[in-house]
Chains A and B, each alone.
Chain A
Amino acid sequence: MSIQEQYRKKAAELLSSGEVKLVIGYGAGTTPDRRRPLFVRSADETSKLHLDAACEANLSGYLVTEGLLADRKKVGIFLGPEGIRSVNILASESQLDPDQIVIMGFNREAESVSALEGSNVRDFPAMLAALKEQAPGAGEQALVERIENMTPEERFTFWQAEFEKCIKCYACRQVCPMCYCRRCIVDNNQPQWVQTSSHTLGNFEWNLVRAFHLSGRCVECGGCDRACPVNIPLRLINRRMAMEVLDAYDHFSGMSPDQETVLASFKKDDPETFIL
């Protein structure tokens, strides 16, 4: 039985037994090679669920939809490794109760998907430990290093050219499971720390603040990158920040629901090489 069949069946069982009230998964998209989120509330709808290599989106952000988990009922969800990590972070930041989440985990390879053993967010320590071991993964590493090797002026020019394109649509914020704030700092106009005008300075400030707020929290699911309509390589900044917290504090975000927030904690002997 394919994993898609297997998870359709599991979703149907969960729903018909009443164990979960909802399954968040993937449905057919607008074109054959795309998938969109699908919210399934009854067993007979589960045949609409898809699970294949096209299922890219990290669905965990839907879990913190206002009021969804307030009735204490469980919700089933299709999650890749990044999604599992973001559920851990959401749990460690008290945005959800991890025991309300029934995970149907999957690993996406080039052409296929395979199932991940386990259903509670605590069931994946070995998989997460292996991910941490591999970090930073190959992916964009070459480009990150290319930027690192530029002079500051070149880097500034590189990013200025990228940020110039930003239209402040905030799709990156909308898609990010970590951007759950009731009020984003950019929407606070007392004071207006981040300029909302879409000039390069305002764009620069917005993108810096976004990256800083995600430092030690981003799981590199790539959602922001895919959502950006003007193709700013947001993943590069996020990757660089993930590398920083890993190097400096051995912090790989989303390892467990009890993980400390890297920026709200400290060690007395944290490294300091740059402080005069």
Chain B
Amino acid sequence: MAKIGVFICHCGENIAARIDCARLLSAMDDHPGVSVSLDYKYFCSDPGQENVKKAIRENNLTGIVVAACSPRMHEATFRKACAEAGLNPYLCEIANIREQCSWVHSDREKATEKAIDITRSLIEKVKRNNELQPIEVPVTRKALVIGGGIAGIQAALDIANAGQEVVLVEREPSLGGHMAQLSETFPTLDCSQCIMTPRMVEAAQHPKIELLTYSEIEQVDGFIGNFTVKIRKKARYVDMKTCTGCGDCIQKCPQKKISDEFDCNLGKRPAIYTPFAQAVPNIPVIDKENCTYFKNGKCRVCAKACPIDCINFEMQDEFVDIEVGAIVVATGFQIQNTAMYGEYGYGKYPDVITGLQFERLASASGPTAGKIMRPSDGKEPETVVFIQCAGSRDPSKGVKYCSKICCMYTSKHAMLYAHKVHGGKAHVFYMDIRAAGKGYDEFTRRAIEEDEASYLRGRVSKVWQENGKLMVRGVDTLLGKPVEIAADMVVLATAITPQPDAKEFAKVIGIGCDEYGFYNEAHLKLRPVETATAGIYLAGACQSPKDIPDSVAQASACASKVIGLFSRDRLEREPVIAMNNEATCSGCWGCFVACPYGAIEKKDILNRSGELIKRVAFVNPGLCQGCGTCVTFCRSNSIDLAGFTEKQIFAEVMGL
């Protein structure tokens, strides 16, 4: 038999002024199943809550309805009071007679009738409430950080410095990402390598960080606190345990004509190589595609050159499974191929290069040792034209969004060029200068005012070659005139786009992405580092184009989320989750298709001899977020949602 307590709060005059609480009280007294009904000035106050607790104890109540303010205000308060009085907190319902009744209606008679209806229907609901227990999920205190650029390194270091274990996975042979390719960094012009390499070394040597370079994520299963991740450690053909990084093999490799990806194809490298001199770990890999031995079965020069015999051509990819509690995705970006701008001549004229190629030219460790030279003939360019938004903010050919960093790095390029090539002239075509950030606008002003870069507001329509020069035709919209510049080099500020495999990878780890492939945060403003999948966080340019300070800040924010998650042994979650009646389930998988969280699993029902009888839906309580979408799809009413069961809603509606 239900023994329901009804508690009618006056909320001072807030409710009592518009609702006849005495009439409401007597109506509830008469309602079947109500053992006790009380009214009070403020039930949310300490003495008010004591009254509730006393009534629960004295009457052995099986459920309570508090007719008061919105459940969004005090549901937690009264649930706690229930728990303290020994009643399961989920046997409490709140009738919202303030925000949705007394405050919005002026007719006392009708407001009172409405309050009676609302309270009654919730009495009918609470009679069908079940005792629920918070779901406890154990937490594996180890984090996986995917991507070894600056964002990934920062997140890994912050988590590790808080004393938690981290596995840092990078698919390239070395840590570093794009930041390692840069020459100097805006707005301070400190050398990228100088600030980056100590972090790389720190990450590699950290006792709490397990570093897996040249490795990729194959599969992610599980849920917050309990992910299982399969990682492919690609064969390096060099034994990491014994290699000392002496580099003899690299020196001796006869194949030296391979285009160097790290140098953006401006330089050459051998088939056994480290991407750059400061690589971490400083252990070479063999590029199987280009290695003479792998191609022809003959060579093995590197193996002969190795003084300690650590080259192993038989090495195979290895797979490891790791258990982690949280995942930070910091997979970075790529720059857009500018092939769609045929009029700029990228790929046709060797001296039309991308911004990233310019970084390599300007870098002291780059293919030209920091000298600005034309790729075509090695001459120092006397005039350089920089074209901004070469892909960004161009809905017709490129991408709609602003790539955010190009205004700043173009200013930096103009500056570096002025510093390195005295007397050189830099022209910059821009749409707008977007230099919001600490010290940013001052930086672009410096490029214009001190380093005398000429900024032209307008677009470039065509680049062509004439008498050994690159002719650039554009427009200066401020003067309202067409402009033609004879340049020696053209640098395109290409758009920042997601990694080429970003969309497929989103599916592997189970997060969402936008139309371009940038990963979706749970809420753009209020939950910018979390994804919709609990326990998976985003750092750096994989979420949207970002500069180094923003990437680092977001990485640290991720780390604080992970550390917060790891501060407990077990997670407690609201038990409002779906559950399935396996007896009536037909396995049509409507729920499976509809679930936004992939929380529905297929479960085999076997007979005693282990033969499959049927396959039914099973709700993974770790993944289910309790939206109830599956319930509505279930034609046979097999799936139900705790806290909002079919029985409860039916009773609530029928109680109206």
Check B584 against A264 for contact (C-beta < 8 Å).
no
Q: Which residues of A contact B590 (CB under 8 A)?
A: 93, 261, 263-264
Check B593 against A265 for contact (C-beta < 8 Å).
yes
Binds A, one of B191-199, B454-462, B645-653: B645-653
9 further A-B contacts with Cβ under 8 Å, apart from A181-B635, A193-B637, A261-B593, are: A93-B590, A94-B588, A181-B636, A182-B583, A188-B636, A260-B593, A261-B590, A263-B633, A265-B593
* Cβ of B252 under 8 Å from chain A: no
Question: B325 to nearest A CB, angstroms?
Answer: 32
Check A94 against B585 for contact (C-beta < 8 Å).
no
- Chain A interface category by residue count: 20 to 34
Q: Which residues of A contact B584 (CB under 8 A)?
A: 181-183, 188
Q: Which residues of A contact B589 (CB under 8 A)?
A: 93-94
Check A180 against B637 for contact (C-beta < 8 Å).
no
**Complex: chain A residue closest to B128, CB-CB:** A191
Q: Which residues of B contact A190 (CB under 8 A)?
A: 646-647
Check B593 against A264 for contact (C-beta < 8 Å).
yes
Check B586 against A95 for contact (C-beta < 8 Å).
yes
Report Cα–Cα, A94/B594, bound state, in Å: 15
Report Cα–Cα, A70/B637, bound state, in Å: 25
Check B635 against A94 for contact (C-beta < 8 Å).
no
Tell me the B584-609 residues at the A interface (CB within 8 Å): 584-591, 593-594
Check A183 against B588 for contact (C-beta < 8 Å).
no
Q: List 15 A-B contacts (CB under 8 A).
A: A94-B587, A94-B588, A94-B589, A183-B637, A185-B635, A188-B636, A188-B637, A191-B647, A192-B650, A193-B646, A193-B650, A260-B593, A263-B590, A264-B594, A265-B593
Report Cα–Cα, A192/B269, bound state, in Å: 74
Q: Which residues of B contact A191 (CB under 8 A)?
A: 646-647, 650-651
Report Cα–Cα, A201/B594, bound state, in Å: 31
* Cβ of B560 under 8 Å from chain A: no
Report Cα–Cα, A93/B635, bound state, in Å: 12
Report Cα–Cα, A184/B638, bound state, in Å: 10
Check B586 against A181 for contact (C-beta < 8 Å).
yes
* Cβ of B404 under 8 Å from chain A: no
**Which of A70, A192, A213 makes the CB contact (< 8 A) with B635?**
A213
* Cβ of B615 under 8 Å from chain A: yes
Contact pattern, A 193-211, Cβ under 8 Å of B = 1, otherwise 0:
1000000000000000000
**Which of B633, B637, B647, B651 makes the CB contact (< 8 A) with A185?**
B637
Question: B644 to nearest A CB, angstroms?
Answer: 13
Q: Which residues of B contact A184 (CB under 8 A)?
A: 636
Q: Which residues of B contact A263 (CB under 8 A)?
A: 590, 633
Question: B252 to nearest A CB, angstroms?
Answer: 54
Report Cα–Cα, A98/B650, bound state, in Å: 39
Report Cα–Cα, A181/B581, bound state, in Å: 13
Q: Which residues of B contact A94 (CB under 8 A)?
A: 587-589, 615
Tell me the B514-565 residues at the A interface (CB within 8 Å): none
Report Cα–Cα, A193/B612, bound state, in Å: 32
Q: Which residues of A contact B583 (CB under 8 A)?
A: 182-183
Report Cα–Cα, A70/B613, bound state, in Å: 8
Q: Which residues of B contact A265 (CB under 8 A)?
A: 593-594
Question: B309 to nearest A CB, angstroms?
Answer: 53
Check A182 against B636 for contact (C-beta < 8 Å).
yes
Question: A268 to nearest B CB, angstroms?
Answer: 10
Contact pattern, B 613-656, Cβ under 8 Å of A = 1, otherwise 0:
00100000000000000000101111000000011001100000
Question: A191 to nearest B CB, angstroms?
Answer: 4
Check A95 against B650 for contact (C-beta < 8 Å).
no
Question: A245 to nearest B CB, angstroms?
Answer: 15
Q: Which residues of A contact B591 (CB under 8 A)?
A: 264
Question: B599 to nearest A CB, angstroms?
Answer: 14
Residues of B within 8 A of A (CB): 583-591, 593-594, 612, 615, 633, 635-638, 646-647, 650-651
**Complex: chain B residue closest to A179, CB-CB:** B635
Report Cα–Cα, A274/B593, bound state, in Å: 26
Report Cα–Cα, A182/B594, bound state, in Å: 20
Q: Which residues of B contact A261 (CB under 8 A)?
A: 590, 593
Question: A99 to nearest B CB, angstroms?
Answer: 17
Check B636 against A93 for contact (C-beta < 8 Å).
no
Q: Which residues of A contact B637 (CB under 8 A)?
A: 183, 185, 188, 193
A-B pairs, top 3 by smallest CB distance, nearest first, are A191-B650, A183-B584, A181-B636
Tell me the A234-271 residues at the B interface (CB within 8 Å): 260-261, 263-265
Report Cα–Cα, A121/B636, bound state, in Å: 27
Tell me the A130-185 residues at the B interface (CB within 8 Å): 180-185
Q: Which residues of B contact A181 (CB under 8 A)?
A: 584, 586, 635-636
Report Cα–Cα, A70/B611, bound state, in Å: 10
Report Cα–Cα, A173/B467, bound state, in Å: 83
Report Cα–Cα, A239/B39, bound state, in Å: 56
Question: A5 to nearest B CB, angstroms?
Answer: 39
**Complex: chain A residue closest to B584, CB-CB:** A183
Q: Which residues of B contact A264 (CB under 8 A)?
A: 590-591, 593-594, 633
Q: Which residues of B contact A260 (CB under 8 A)?
A: 593
Question: A241 to nearest B CB, angstroms?
Answer: 14
Question: A9 to nearest B CB, angstroms?
Answer: 35
Contact pattern, A 84-96, Cβ under 8 Å of B = 1, otherwise 0:
0000000001110
Q: Which residues of A contact B647 (CB under 8 A)?
A: 190-191
Most interface-central of A93, A191, A193, A265 (chain B CB within 10 A): A191
Most interface-central of B586, B612, B638, B650 (chain A CB within 10 A): B586
Report Cα–Cα, A182/B605, bound state, in Å: 15
Most interface-central of A182, A184, A185, A260 (chain B CB within 10 A): A182
Report Cα–Cα, A93/B589, bound state, in Å: 6
Question: A100 to nearest B CB, angstroms?
Answer: 14
Report Cα–Cα, A95/B588, bound state, in Å: 7
**Complex: chain A residue closest to B638, CB-CB:** A183
Report Cα–Cα, A264/B638, bound state, in Å: 16
Given contacts A261-B590, A264-B590, A265-B593, A182 and B585 within 8 Å (CB-CB): yes
Report Cα–Cα, A192/B636, bound state, in Å: 12
Question: B643 to nearest A CB, angstroms?
Answer: 16
Report Cα–Cα, A29/B647, bound state, in Å: 46
Report Cα–Cα, A188/B640, bound state, in Å: 13
Question: B532 to nearest A CB, angstroms?
Answer: 15
Given contacts A190-B647, A191-B647, A191-B651, A185 and B588 within 8 Å (CB-CB): no
Report Cα–Cα, A238/B647, bound state, in Å: 29
Q: Which residues of A contact B651 (CB under 8 A)?
A: 191
Question: B129 to nearest A CB, angstroms?
Answer: 14
**Complex: chain A residue closest to B593, CB-CB:** A264
**Complex: chain B residue closest to A214, CB-CB:** B635
Question: A229 to nearest B CB, angstroms?
Answer: 24
Question: B90 to nearest A CB, angstroms?
Answer: 19
Report Cα–Cα, A94/B585, bound state, in Å: 12
Most interface-central of B585, B588, B594, B651 (chain A CB within 10 A): B588
Report Cα–Cα, A171/B107, bound state, in Å: 52
Given contacts A193-B646, A265-B593, A183 and B587 within 8 Å (CB-CB): no
Q: Which residues of B contact A70 (CB under 8 A)?
A: 612
**Complex: chain B residue closest to A184, CB-CB:** B636
Contact pattern, A 30-48, Cβ under 8 Å of B = 1, otherwise 0:
0000000000000000000
Report Cα–Cα, A184/B636, bound state, in Å: 5
Q: Which residues of A contact B587 (CB under 8 A)?
A: 94-95
Question: B80 to nearest A CB, angstroms?
Answer: 30
Q: Which residues of A contact B593 (CB under 8 A)?
A: 260-261, 264-265
Check A180 against B586 for contact (C-beta < 8 Å).
yes
Q: Which residues of A contact B585 (CB under 8 A)?
A: 182
Report Cα–Cα, A261/B633, bound state, in Å: 11
**Complex: chain B residue closest to A193, CB-CB:** B650
Question: A150 to nearest B CB, angstroms?
Answer: 29
Report Cα–Cα, A154/B59, bound state, in Å: 55
Report Cα–Cα, A261/B630, bound state, in Å: 13
Q: Which residues of B contact A95 (CB under 8 A)?
A: 586-588
Q: Which residues of A contact B638 (CB under 8 A)?
A: 183
**Complex: chain B residue closest to A212, CB-CB:** B635
**Complex: chain B residue closest to A191, CB-CB:** B650
Question: A224 to nearest B CB, angstroms?
Answer: 16
